[in-house]
Amino acid sequence: MTNHLRALRTERGWSQQELAGRLEVSRQSVIAIENGRYDPSLPLAFRIAETFGLRIEEVFVSPSAG
């Protein structure tokens, strides 16, 4: 699954550490999600989308969708 997390984070001027704090996860988790090495759990994916004020489909893209 690909995502737009890095672009969304940088558009807002947030560091990885700041986003991690907002999501209550480690900075390493944010890095892994941004780099596509880790797919977040469904509850975390929804929390990420809510943090950015977006729908989950606007943050995460299924490989079959492209």
Render pLDDT for 32-52 as a digit per residue (tens, 0 to 9).
999 999 999 999 999 999 999
Question: Mean pLDDT for the chain?
Answer: 95
Domain contains 49: yes
| Stated pTM of the model | 0.89
What stretch of H or E contains 3? strand 2-3
Classify the phi-psi angles of 52: left when phi > 0, otherwise alpha if psi is within -120 to 50, otherwise beta.
Answer: alpha
Q: Which domain holds residue 28?
A: 2-56
Structural domain includes residue 62: no
Indicate whether 43 belongs to any domain.
yes
